A = this chain, B = another copy of it.
Amino acid sequence: MKLIKSIVRPHKVDDVREALERLSIAGMTVTDVRGHGRQKGHTAVYRGKEYSVSLLPKVEIEVVVPDAVVDEVIEAVMAAARTGEIGDGRVFVLPVEHSYNIRTGEREAT
């Protein structure tokens, strides 16, 4: 099993979720994060001073999937999250040794 950890633009979350559902992947966990990268930040102002906001709002979507479907999931996520502009984000693939369902207490088949 793999953990597919995608960092995307906030307004792309719904698209990604739908894309995953189309692959009948129901389970996912979403986290509000802030990201720094090539994308330029903004200049903000507070009373006397100007400062730069370099951490931009992003959303992290974590999905654990069987090895078999990893590639199509990655494709789906990237297609749904892409705008073509700098700041689209990343997809990271991490190995997962086991996955358990708390309700049933069972280890899930890979």
Q: Which residues of B contact A78 (CB under 8 A)?
A: 100, 102, 105
A42 at the interface (CB under 8 A from B): no
Chain A 23-36, CB-CB to B under 8 Å as 1, else 0, gives 00011111111111
**Are the C-beta atoms of A29 and B7 separated by less than 8 Å?**
yes
Closest residue of B by beta carbon distance from A6: B102
CA distance A64 to B92 in the complex (A): 8
Q: Which residues of B contact A103 (CB under 8 A)?
A: 82-89
**Are the C-beta atoms of A92 and B102 separated by less than 8 Å?**
no
Chain A 11-44, CB-CB to B under 8 Å as 1, else 0, gives 0000001000000001111111111111000000
Enumerate A61-93 residues with CB–CB distance to B below 8 Å. 64, 74, 77-78, 81-93
